[in-house]
Structure 1
Amino acid sequence: MKISKQYSLKKRLVWGTSVFSFLLGCLLIFTAYKTALHEVDEILDTQMQYMAERSTTQPLTTVASKVELHRTYHEEDLLVDIWAYKDQSHLWHQTHLLIPPVKQAGFYSQDTPQGKWRAYVIPLKDYQIQVSQQEEVRQSFAWELAGSMFVPYVVLLPFAILVLAFIIRLSLKPLDDFKTELKRRDSEGLSPIDSHDYPQELIPTIEEMNHLFERIQHAQTEQKQFIADAAHELRTPVTALNLQTKILISQFPEHEALQNLSKGLARIQHLVTQLLALAKQDVALSLIEPNTQFCLNDVALNCVEQLVNLAMQKEIDLGFERNDLIEMQSLESTVHSIIFNLIDNAIKYTPDQGIINIAVYSDSDDFACIQIEDSGVGIDPEQYDKVLKRFYRVHHHLEVGSGLGLSIVDKATQRLGGSLILSRSLDLGGLSVLVRLPKKL
């Protein structure tokens, strides 16, 4: 199995730019050397020619230069030789510096044990004038000139690389912004990404991402709508079966199979109701729900009235421990769903002749609190996160549970911008659920 090696685009660009700058510098110094060598050749050739021609205007006498084997010559060092044609013995001196007689004045090259020399020669009637210079001198001088031009480049190169790294980081910042945009989205965040603030190179990727979001959203909507439709269609026949079962139980009260059937139908009816409530939230029907002004106390009282019969069947003491007057501007039906499911959940998991206390109060000017405590067995703190997941149940011996109540409450609370806190009740010993909701949505 081949494992792909991850790499950083920023580091690759910085390293690539650095290597390119170094290679460019090498090319520049080589080009500068060639240019400098050409200029040096022109200048020194002109100087040699001028010196040779100047010597022709003076009385001619034999002049013999002496090559020092261990001396380092410089660009200003020119060797002048004037020799007579009648005496050519010195042409074969060990230095081999002099060029044999020529017919035309010009530049000539001569290889010697001291390297290659360049000479300008003027042939006269009886004498030959030669001005020589070591070519290595010219090359060294050209390298010095090229190096002097390259030093500023070398000095400025680290600063240039730092500036380039900053420009690269700044140019790639839209990629980090794009990553942050995707990171802060949750599973429901499928709205299109605004591409106005991104460069043109990212526009095709963003457009394809938006198309993917659209397809996922469409598929999720169809799936959730199917669940909602199925739950809605199941509710009517299940309710009818439950009513028919109650009629049969009234006629045959001692029939154990009918009692078990009634419990099973009650569980199915409760599950269908929970699925329908959960499907409404998933399909985001609350988004079209009007934002209204209402009294939180009235909503809580209405939930108690709907569930009081269920509490009386288990002889549970259900009541308000605190009920402050709180006005809210929010989604009333969603708030009702939160309180209803919390009380319903507390009744299920509270034993017979237990206690459930409800408190409605305000802990600040902006948030309202609904706290529901029961005297049941409670939940271990390690399982607080798990019970908020769908269909997760702690106490499986209770038949009426479906594992959706707290999941519905958690999702609805998040949609309203509130928070859900689970803990152990200090007074009753069971579960304590605190919901904080903003008073204005």
Structure 2
Amino acid sequence: MKSIHRYLLFSLIAALLFGTLLISLFLYKKSKHEINELYDSNMQALASVINAQYLSFNAIHQPISGVGKHSQRKEIHREEEFLVQIWKLSGEYVYASHPLIDFPRQAQSGFFTTRHKQKKWRVYTLETDQGFIQISQPQTARNLYIGELAAGLIFPLLLQIPLIGAFIWIAVGKSLRPLQRVSTAIQSRSAVSLDHLPTESLPIEICPVIDELNHLLTRLGKALAMQQSFTADAAHELRTPLAALQLQVDTLARSQDDVERHTAVTALQRGIMRAGSLVNQLLTLARLGPEFSRQSDIVELNQIVRAEIEQHLDQAVARHIDLGFSAAEPIFLEAHAASLHIMLSNLIDNAIRYSPENGKVDIRTYYTDAEVVLEVQDNASPIGSQDRERIFERFYRGSSSNGVSGSGLGLAIVADIVQQHHACITVKTRCDVLGNTFIVSFPKLSLATTLI
């Protein structure tokens, strides 16, 4: 498991170390460049002074002013020292500030770097009318001073690492403290506590997460409430068919002849079918959750209508119902195909069962300016205004049921599917003939979605 605290600490401290390293490298290179330029300038100035003071090398018979006494050392270790050598044009060796150092005259003029006895030397040669002035310095002497200067500059940078590191440690720990408070608040809650988490005094970066979590708790609360309501309603509704089955079994057990037994068996079969239908409807209603509706795709509505009409042809024929369908063009919408099948199945089944024999059920699909419309028309008794407001409630069966068997869940399932598709459903009484019209209006696909 990854730790944000550890990741931030390691990342920031690594960035600090890397930045310090880059700055140190830059300071070292910059110092080296500046020091080399400074010493080169000194060498050039020293050669110019010597050339200005002595116009004739023949006059040299004592140490040159500004150079100092002859050194008897064989090495130059101090960075401020130079090896000064003078030759006449004839090649006669006139002067050396360090006579014991064997360094030959270089043929090249100006500044250059050469190697002598496995050591690098920085050399400046000035050619005059009287001879040659050569100023030399071993690179090791320069490097010594460059190292000391760079160490003086880099040491404060290295000293800042533990100081800034400690500050980073404290800052990261303090910044993540609100997350620890939120974590503690969540851990201290019981499994049934769905109260919103407080967002006061929280950083603005954490507030969106807490807000989304609170929205999730709200949705979860609604889902649990619906689940509890569904469980209570289902338990209540299952009592009636189970009690009826028990009575029918008792009647069958008390039957004394074949006629009574046949009647009891027939009633028991009808009861089992009603109970099975109720259980299937309950299972369908239970699985129509929010996640089920999000698995949407572009579907052709007329194909789904034709498939459901084929599934209900036998039912319609058995009751001599004329089952018709009219559609002017293909109808496309964004929906979950399986949900639409369930919705249409319940609407068609409801229309067939409540329409009288030799009746007619018509299904239409068409476009409007902003919607996709599905209509299911039946010849059932008109639904009153009072029932019309409640027919989509679970287990509600209106006064116009006229003894038709049902669980009161079919239209509740239709309403759930319609809501999940952000559509709406209305019921109107037909004006031309006796019956009702169920109208489902879906949002029309945008042009961009259609092109995709």
In the superposition, the TM-score normalised over structure 1's length comes to 0.46
TM-score, normalisation: structure 2: 0.45
